[in-house]
Structure 1
Amino acid sequence: MFKFAALSKVSNIPKVALLAPLALFALQPHAQQSKTRLGIVNVQTLVTALPGSAGYVALAKKADTEIQDQAKSVQGLLAKASAAGASAASKAAYTTAAKKYQASAQSYQKQLQASFAPLAGRVNAAVAAVAKAQGFSVVLDQRVARDTRLIIYANPQTTDLTAAVTAKLKTGK
């Protein structure tokens, strides 16, 4: 009679509840075997090494220099315009310089995007080919990952694909 009472209690438990622990044990080794490898690349280095990128690189340097110079000028004019007793002329000069700075930044951004578009496809294809060949699941731009603090630590000896991708870009294969 005791065994019958125990079986009747078990039959009241849903079958899913009985199978759940078994399923967890069956899936555990599979979950441990799948590994996601994360790689990093320095996109700036790749673009510089890419044949045919000289125009883009020169434009990027020119844009950086001019935008930085304009930003310094705007900051100086802002200091004068926000000082006590600032003249209307200094305020107008600041407003004009700030508008010019914004227009220049937007113009350069459009030019850089247009100039980079044909290069981006080649860089992305090379990164994807090297990552796939070496078993990497995800590859991030080193600078973006650093600036956004997305990655706290990465061993460059095991995660940096920049040299391999640069070699692929130079050979074109």
Structure 2
Amino acid sequence: MKFERTLLLLPLFLLTTVSQAQTKNTRVGFVNVQKVVAAVPGGGPYLDLRKRVDTDLAKREANIRQLTLKANRTRTKADTDALKKAQQSYANAQKNYQSRLAQAFKPIGKRVDSTIAAVAKSSGFGVVLDTEVAARSKLVVYANVAKTDLTPAILKALKK
């Protein structure tokens, strides 16, 4: 009988726990990392490299799409080999670019990350997302930009 009573009370306990967890306000903020990086001394060269990398990888992706269509249509060994070669070249380029970008970001990364963390913490935000990444991935359906955009506060903190 005691076990049955416990089973009956368990859902009520879980409901009260969930509502309490939801009342704790974990604020989610957004930052335009591109603008922040551009404002940091040394950020310009990193952004230029990022743009060149994105352009090159986009061209390679387009080439792979074309080669995929052709290889699927013709099914010849030459077209299949060309596709494999393009895919391998893309993978190698991507790996090379990742290390170059990481190296270029290293001198400015600590300042960018620490400033974002400090502003977010002092403003009461528990989570901060990159605006561009959130938009591109469709991770966020709605956000009140006036209340969630930390970019101006971070840019102001960087000028100090």
Q: 1:83 to 1:166 in 2, by over 3 A?
A: same
**Structure 2 length-normalised TM:** 0.75
The equivalent residue for 2:63 is 73
- Tell me which amino acid in the other structure corresponds to 2:102: Q
Instruction: Write the distance in 2 (CA, Å) between the matches of 1:96 and 1:151.
Output: 37
Specify the SS of the correspondent of 2:125.
coil
Structure-to-structure mapping, 1:17-166, within 5 angstroms: 35-84=25-74, 86-166=75-155
**Structure 1 length-normalised TM:** 0.70
Alignment length, in residue pairs? 141
Instruction: Write the distance in 1 (CA, Å) between the matches of 2:116 and 2:50.
Output: 22
The structure 1 segments of at least 4 consecutive aligned residues displaced by more than 6 Å after TM superposition are none
Instruction: Write the distance in 2 (CA, Å) between the matches of 1:91 and 1:76.
Output: 12
Describe the superposition over 1:74-133 as per-residue Cα deviations: whole angstroms up to 9, x where unpaired: 21122222214x432222222211111111111111211222123221111111222233
How far the C-alpha of 1:41 sits from its partner, in A, is 0.9
How far the C-alpha of 1:148 sits from its partner, in A, is 4.6
Instruction: Write the distance in 2 (CA, Å) between the matches of 1:90 and 1:36.
Output: 53
Instruction: Write the distance in 2 (CA, Å) between the matches of 1:36 and 1:90.
Output: 53
Instruction: Write the distance in 2 (CA, Å) between the matches of 1:44 and 1:95.
Output: 34
How far the C-alpha of 1:149 sits from its partner, in A, is 4.4
Q: 1:75 to 1:151 in 2, by over 3 A?
A: closer
Which runs of no fewer than 5 residues in structure 1 stay unpaired? 1-23
Which runs of no fewer than 5 residues in structure 2 stay unpaired? 1-15
Specify the SS of the correspondent of 1:151.
coil
Instruction: Write the distance in 1 (CA, Å) between the matches of 2:135 and 2:61.
Output: 24
Instruction: Write the distance in 1 (CA, Å) between the matches of 2:77 and 2:143.
Output: 53
- Tell me which amino acid in the other structure corresponds to 1:165: I
Report the aligned-residue RMSD: 2.4
Instruction: Write the distance in 1 (CA, Å) between the matches of 2:134 and 2:61.
Output: 26
Larger radius of gyration: 1
What fraction of aligned residue pairs are identical, expressed as a percent? Answer: 39
